Amino acid sequence: MNNNNKYREWYKLDNSAKIFPEVSTRKETNTFRVQVVLKEVVDPDLLQQATDSILERYPMFKVRLKTGFFWRYFDYNSMPFSIEPLNHMVCGGLSPKDNNGYLFKVFYRHNIIAIEVFHSLADGGGAYMFLKSIIYEYFVLKGYDISPDNMILTKDSLPTIEEYEDAHAAYYDPKNHKHMPEKKAFGIKGTPISGDLVGLISGTVSTKKILNLARANNATITEYLTAIIMETIYITQIKYREHLKQNQKPVKIFVPVNLRNHFPSKSLRNFSNFIKSDMVMNRSDITFEEILDLVKKQFKLGLQKDELIRKMSENFAFEKNIFLRLTPFHLKKFVMKLGYSLMGLSLNTMSFTNIGRVDFPESMIPYIDNISAAVYSGKFNTLNLGIASFGDKFKITFTRSIIETTIEREFFRKLSELGLDVEIESNYVEVYQ
């Protein structure tokens, strides 16, 4: 790999990636975390060796961000990469000037291996593939008898063009890119957490039991939990506050969709879009069944292939505009920042990222305890949610930029009421404010 210049050439940011460098701040970091908890204490020296080996296999991660005349771009990064002990920060900023220019970090603490990724680099699907490769190589260095079983990209394999293509371009339809205007969403307000800290509360439940609950309601887990989240926001934020019901903005839950599950792509970069459920909750008699029925209908429409292509094409049409393409970057940057500040942050109440079930080769399973995902929270989207499962451990992780934990408490109380045993973890940020 070191002698193969083919993978050292610069390449464009994918369509989804272009906005993030222009709108990210210390509060709006646009980073996310994926992590694996092992059944043993991590050896930092071996983890560093594993990361160095695997990084050569992932040219789309071994880059730094550069600015060109028309667009930003990724260029090969020859600087060394260093893993770090996991500290109190959750989904902190990843400045291109720091971290030797790399747009991700690898952390360790006790039995945890985690990576935090700037969203321009990859989405959750690509990030977990990268993390799985690191963990596989780590186990190899430990001397364990394991096999990739066609589920892991190992250091001995070569990258393919498909892995770092902009898959949005492949499915762009110039006849199906109608813009659908969005209304501003209801925002969850609270007391800001000081500094750059983010609060984290995670609950672990049985994968089998929560799946059975969803099936009993003729819903997927994502639909079922989305409805519970919407009901929780309604009960804690709206139902008993009559003054909020006039001119009520809709509660909107944005759910990223891994488009690799819908289109034949092997891209390890960003290849996701979103579906959403939204509801104007200005009545006092809204039931859970009503919410769930609406969620299922909205998700069914949002997941239709034509609609997924329309959303992809709507975003890509902006990039294809000939006038925009010929506009110097400093003017593009101004337009993107202005548009995002006017509407971008106010379009959704909460993001709900479902990584889904993360599979490992059978030979690696005995060494792994659980997996989880977390998403940054900022000034407007003060509360976000990430879920992921491994075996019978289903991890539900809230992150927040406000001190109040009312919604999380009500949400997990609801799960307990439904018969689930919930094991809670927290970084207790609110205690230190």
Residues 369-422: tens digit of each pLDDT: 999 999 999 888 999 999 999 999 999 999 999 999 999 999 999 999 999 999
The mean of the pLDDT values for the chain is 89
Residue among 300, 369, 353, 341 nearest 39 (CA)? 369
Which contiguous run of DSSP H or E holds residue 372?
Answer: strand 368-375
Distance of alpha carbon 237 from alpha carbon 406, whole angstroms? 9
- Residue 369: exposed, middle, or buried by beta-carbon count in 10 A (0-12, 13-18, 19+)? middle
Q: How far apart are the first and last CA of the chain?
A: 48
pTM, 2 dp: 0.92
Determine the pLDDT at residue 344: 64
Do the domains spanning 5-170 and 199-432 agree at the CATH topology level?
yes
The 10s digit of each residue's pLDDT in 97-117 is 779 999 999 999 999 999 999
Give the least confident one: 114-118, 258-262, 320-324: 320-324
Confidence category of residue 362, pLDDT binned at 50, 70, 90: very high
Rounded to an integer, what distance in angstroms lies between the CA atom of residue 261 and that of residue 413? 32
Quote the tokens at residue 5. 């210049």
Pairwise CA distance, residues 158 & 343, whole Å: 42
Pairing relationship of beta strands 112-118 and 31-38 according to DSSP bridges: antiparallel
**Quick check: 3 pLDDT over 50?**
no
CATH class, 5-170 region? alpha beta
CATH topology of domain 199-432: Chloramphenicol Acetyltransferase (3.30.559)
Band of pLDDT at residue 29, cut at 50, 70 and 90: very high
pLDDT at 372: 97
Give the whole-angstrom CA distance, residue 222 versus residue 241: 28
Strand 31-38 versus strand 368-375 pairing type: antiparallel
pLDDT of residue 316: 74
Q: 426 — phi, psi (to 5°)?
A: -150, 155
Distances (CA, A) of 211 to 2, 389, 408: 46, 11, 20
pLDDT of 432 higher than 70: no
- Ordered by start, the domain boundaries in the chain are 5-170, 199-432
Burial label for 70, CB within 10 Å (0-12, 13-18, 19+), is middle
CA distance 388 to 394: 6
